[in-house]
Structure 1
Amino acid sequence: MRVQVLQHVPFEGIGSMESWLAERRLTPNYTLFFDDGVLPPVEGLDLVIVMGGPMSVNDEAQLPWLRAEKQFLREAIAHGARVLGVCLGAQLIADALGARVYPNAEKEIGWFPIRGVCEGADTGEDCCRFPAESLVFHWHGETFDLPPGAIRLARSAACENQAFRIGRQVIGLQFHLETTAQSAEAILDHCRDELVSAPWVQTEADILGVDPGAYGEANRLMSRILDDLVGPASP
């Protein structure tokens, strides 16, 4: 299986997904947009993982590589690759497929619950992959409309569109299920200036003081979603 990771900043890597890949003896290739940003041909790619970052999908004038990345995502989807987007990654997928990405009414930073929904279940779509409620890690100020053909998978009190899927091929997550204690500290080190007093912004102490079990629960849900997207590991 050929796996390509699109990473936008050094401090937002794949977190717990590294273990998931290692268990399947998969070594991903990386496109590092903070370095050379070289994108491979889409032919033959099986899984594309699009990570987060502090920039906006609407920053094409300042970051022209965003245009190339969106075109790459359109082509990868058209060629049948499975695609997973996390936070900015989900917004990039939405934008690449024609949906609007814009500031959310509230920034959402810290550990807050999401609620799983089953929209589309009556059409036969097997989309009920989220528990009724899950505590997950957020760090976003923007949101997206659902792209054409997408089914909502989760919402939160602060943000209506928290997760979506398109068929069996594409999943977008507004939140970070891959977060580890180390990756949470890394994003805090680089983005703590965003921790301003607001209804859905936690303090650094609250973020770091979460029950350690929250990481494990989120990481297990991340693995379940990846299994659903590409299939379980071979025996």
Structure 2
Amino acid sequence: MTQHTFSKTIYAIQHLAFEDLGSLEDIFYQLGFRIRYFEAGIDNLTPALNYEGLTVILGGPIGVYEEQDYPFLTAEIALLKQRLADKKPTLGICLGAQLIASALGAKVYAGHQKEIGWSELGIKAIEHNILEPLESISVLHWHGDTFDLPENATLLASSALYPNQAFSIDHHVLALQFHIEVAEDMFERWLIGHTCELRQAHLSIPQLREENAIHAHALEHAAYHVMKQFLKQIQLLN
């Protein structure tokens, strides 16, 4: 089968039930794609990571380096290394971006502080930066780990707290530390699911809810343009 045969289905690997494709799912549907989900730790990820079309690796609260507690990570990273070596189209979000960085040989580690909440990115002034639609747009940050920039990666964005917020490898890999996929009407799931983390970090749940109401719609609009351009880059859209 050729890549063109596969092109109308996008595979997505979940590490946590409520951290799904969010607004990106609607975007992909609007652009004529179907979605197939795989659950890390439960499903065999080989079909997803050997897939010739686009595979999206989503977020979750575990660390790339916690392979002793979560042995499935060993196989996931090994399959991802081969996928990246084969230059298959791959999008990573949060943990997904960290897994890509690790598979490319970069160090992934606990950051100096948690970055949770809405704020703007510093979009790098490079030619044809795919994240240009996010200029002056607040995105959702929700992570405690970070990573070094992999060799041969192009840095696309930074934040005030963490310099490595997004990178690309040629045209086939896009890795985003922040959450471009959060959907305004689904954000309450995050506040419920991550309540222990939010309380431990002494963060205001009502404030996060209010910020979502202010910023999420603009992010969804910008995400459409980023994803459409990425699909064109990997030749799944004309």
- Scaled to the shorter chain, the TM-score interval is 0.7 to 0.9
Rate the CA distance shift 1:104–1:44 in 2: closer, same or farther, 3 A.
Answer: closer
Corresponding residue for residue 158 of structure 1: 161
Rate the CA distance shift 1:111–1:231 in 2: closer, same or farther, 3 A.
Answer: same
Corresponding residue for residue 33 of structure 1: 40
Letter in 1 for 2:114: K
Please give the per-residue CA displacement for 1:78-113, whole angstroms capped at 9, x wherever unaligned. Answer: 333211111111001000110011111110111122
Indicate the SS of the match to 1:54: coil
Corresponding residue for residue 110 of structure 2: 103
| 2:67 aligned residue (56, 60, 78) | 60
Corresponding residue for residue 26 of structure 2: 19
Indicate the SS of the match to 1:212: helix
Tell me the number of residue pairs that the alignment of Structure 1 and Structure 2 aligns: 228
Corresponding residue for residue 4 of structure 2: none
By how many angstroms is 1:41 displaced? Answer: 6.4
Rate the CA distance shift 1:44–1:13 in 2: closer, same or farther, 3 A.
Answer: closer
In structure 1, what is the Cα distance between the partners aligned to 2:48 and 2:158?
34
Rate the CA distance shift 1:211–1:87 in 2: closer, same or farther, 3 A.
Answer: closer
TM-score normalised according to structure 2 size: 0.87
Indicate the SS of the match to 2:38: strand
| 2:52 aligned residue (26, 37, 45) | 45
Q: How large is the RMSD of aligned CA atoms in angstroms? A: 2.2
Query: Does the CA-based 8 Å contact 2:101-2:149 persist in structure 1?
Result: yes
Q: Flag structure 2 segments of 5+ consecutive residues without an equivalent.
A: 1-6
In structure 1, what is the Cα distance between the partners aligned to 2:107 and 2:192?
30
In structure 1, what is the Cα distance between the partners aligned to 2:48 and 2:57?
16
Rate the CA distance shift 1:208–1:177 in 2: closer, same or farther, 3 A.
Answer: same
Corresponding residue for residue 223 of structure 2: 222
In structure 2, what is the Cα distance between the partners aligned to 1:155 and 1:82?
23
Corresponding residue for residue 209 of structure 1: 210
Indicate the SS of the match to 1:133: coil
Letter in 1 for 2:145: E
Q: Which moved more, 1:55-64 or 1:185-194?
A: 185-194
Letter in 1 for 2:11: Q
Letter in 2 for 1:225: V
Does 1:90 pair with 2:93?
no
By how many angstroms is 1:229 displaced? Answer: 1.7
Does 1:10 pair with 2:29?
no
Query: Does the CA-based 8 Å contact 1:7-1:31 persist in structure 2?
Result: yes
Rate the CA distance shift 1:37–1:221 in 2: closer, same or farther, 3 A.
Answer: farther
TM-score normalised according to structure 1 size: 0.88
Q: Which moved more, 1:208-217 or 1:20-29?
A: 208-217
Please give the per-residue CA displacement for 1:126-152, whole angstroms capped at 9, x wherever unaligned. Answer: 326334432111110011111111111
In structure 1, what is the Cα distance between the partners aligned to 2:58 and 2:183?
14
Corresponding residue for residue 71 of structure 1: 78
Query: Does the CA-based 8 Å contact 1:117-1:152 persist in structure 2?
Result: yes
By how many angstroms is 1:180 displaced? Answer: 1.3
In structure 2, what is the Cα distance between the partners aligned to 1:152 and 1:234?
24
By how many angstroms is 1:59 displaced? Answer: 0.8
Indicate the SS of the match to 2:145: strand
In structure 1, what is the Cα distance between the partners aligned to 2:33 and 2:184?
23
Corresponding residue for residue 131 of structure 2: 129
Corresponding residue for residue 171 of structure 1: 174
Corresponding residue for residue 187 of structure 1: 190
In structure 2, what is the Cα distance between the partners aligned to 1:197 and 1:66?
26
Query: Does the CA-based 8 Å contact 1:102-1:142 persist in structure 2?
Result: yes
Which structure is higher in helix share? Answer: 2
